[in-house]
Amino acid sequence: MKKILAFAGSNSKNSINQKLVEYVASKMDSHQVRVINLINYPMVLYSEDEEKDNGFPGMALGLKQEISEVDALLISVNEHNGSWSAFFKNIIDWLSRLDRNFLEGKKILLMSTSPGKRGGVSSLEFAKNVLPRFGAEIVDSFSFPSFHDNFSVTSNTVTDETLLLGLNEVLSTFAHQI
């Protein structure tokens, strides 16, 4: 049984990516998954002056430590104007300053969702290109389109059968590969 840390790249209280992460985490019963909410990891906006004058935010040190303790990560990125959110970029910038290889040896299942048909795929592709710079191995990825049409928050279920089959296949592959 491997250890997995799961989170969404969003600071929205009603984040649909966080809902997707929580759903997927609940299905990964062959591993030990811990879901965190990055809202609880506030970090001042990165600047070189901030780093020089005040050092690293405690939450960046804490998150880096939590990442170092697991085998794999389950991440769902939101999409703001074709990329991941400024909130998530800020976290990645701080972590990269702490350790350029902060994702070394980490296997990642990368996801994205949005209310639109593209399901945040631009942000997903961006994350697929950028995260390996820090040592990550992206094992698989999944973009979940039109979240509100295909997911029931009340019953915590995927309502579209084809999407459910695709997602199950990705989860099963990831569970075997980590």
Task: Give me the residues that bind ligand FMN (CB under 6 A), please.
Answer: 8, 10, 12, 15-17, 78-82, 114-116, 118, 120
Whole-angstrom CA distances from 128 to 99, 167, 170 are 19, 18, 16
Minimum Å gap between C-beta 161 and ligand FMN is 23
Contact 96, 61 (CB under 8 A): no
Using the minimum distance from each CB to ligand FMN, give the nearer residue, 21 or 178.
21
Which has the closest alpha carbon to 23: 132, 163, 118, 173? 163
Minimum Å gap between C-beta 122 and ligand FMN is 6
Contact 99, 33 (CB under 8 A): no
Using the minimum distance from each CB to ligand FMN, give the nearer residue, 40 or 172.
40
Using the minimum distance from each CB to ligand FMN, give the nearer residue, 81 or 155.
81
Minimum Å gap between C-beta 98 and ligand FMN is 25
Contact 147, 20 (CB under 8 A): yes
Name the β-bridge partners of 74. 6, 109
Using the minimum distance from each CB to ligand FMN, give the nearer residue, 167 or 178.
167
CA distance 133 to 151: 32
- Helix, strand or coil for residue 71? coil
Minimum Å gap between C-beta 119 and ligand FMN is 7
Which has the closest alpha carbon to 108: 71, 65, 133? 71
Using the minimum distance from each CB to ligand FMN, give the nearer residue, 98 or 130.
130
Minimum Å gap between C-beta 160 and ligand FMN is 17
